[in-house]
Amino acid sequence: MLNPWLELDAVRDLASAMSERAHLDLITLGTTAGADEIRDTAVTQPLVVATALLAADRLPLPAGVPVAGHSVGELAAAAIAGVLPPLDAVELAAVRGLAMSAACALAPTGMSAVMGGDVETVLATLAELDLVGANVNGGGQIVAAGSLAALAALAADPPSGTRIIPLPVAGAFHTSYMGSAETTLARHIRSITPADPQRPLLTNSDGSVIGGTGSGSMFLHLLVGQVTRPVRWDLCMQTLADLRVTGVLELPPAGTLIGLVRRELKGVATIAVKTPDDLEAAADFVAEHAGVTL
């Protein structure tokens, strides 16, 4: 992930500072570490946020550009919107990842993607099985989360017109199983003084735009509560449509979210920034559309 970015001037120094705040060697983890090392959510989360912010640091983002993040991507979005300094966002991602990893060890839980089907029918079926639609992603995709036994029951008898894909994750993120992580994060943010967002900032809670006096603090508390609440990316995309966004840019690691955008927001242009080779085209794209997401 990080190899091509570290070739740019001053990026290694910023990545080193991020590593220090995360208490992890993000440079090694993002260049030479094996899949098993970076699969741990305690590593994945700060690495994803750091990589997104290293790329964002190289992009000209005009005032007024709306910003959204999916799950841990909300921390990077908060930094881009000016709510948190980038180093604070990476540190918070590390605390979040470690706390969620610890919560996963408390019970055998997991997540499965439910592809296709009617949204309300799928959510009703999940509720009957004591599962949660932890990621309501739009584009015909809902991620179910809960006990492994309940996920097995879902796979054995899926809702009509759906396909169930078990996901290689450590546990049931964005459910009540993450309660201990929420407590840890609530304690950590007491040391953070957020600023109000300088750009339109969308929340996974309900897709609304956060703004106004005191909204930075409100968003920070939403970030804490979001670890036990569903990610409503479908509502974020609806807000992007309501804002008449004509282009969506995804920061690294990129590809998944613009796939959802292409299925849900027909006619909206997209671009994925994966390496520095994409920066020139991305700058032209931003200038043309003035819309960005993570």
Active site (catalytic) residues: 71, 174
- Number of Cβ within 10 Å of residue 191's Cβ equals 8
Give per-residue burial for 124-133: e unless 16+ CB within 10 Å, then b.
ebbeebebbb
> Using CA of residue 183, residue 93, residue 142, residue 249, what is the dihedral sign?
positive
Distance from C-alpha of 54 to C-alpha of 56, rounded to nearest angstrom: 6
Contact residues for 191 (Cβ-Cβ < 8 A; gap 6+)? none
> Across the chain, which distance is largest between two alpha carbons, in Å?
54
Alpha helix segments (H runs only) across the chain: 11-22, 26-29, 35-39, 41-56, 73-80, 86-104, 119-128, 148-156, 179-188, 215-225, 233-242, 256-264, 279-289
> Using CA of residue 242, residue 246, residue 251, residue 254, what is the dihedral sign?
positive
Distance from C-alpha of 27 to C-alpha of 220, rounded to nearest angstrom: 27
And the tokens for 18? 């991020």
- Number of Cβ within 10 Å of residue 222's Cβ equals 19
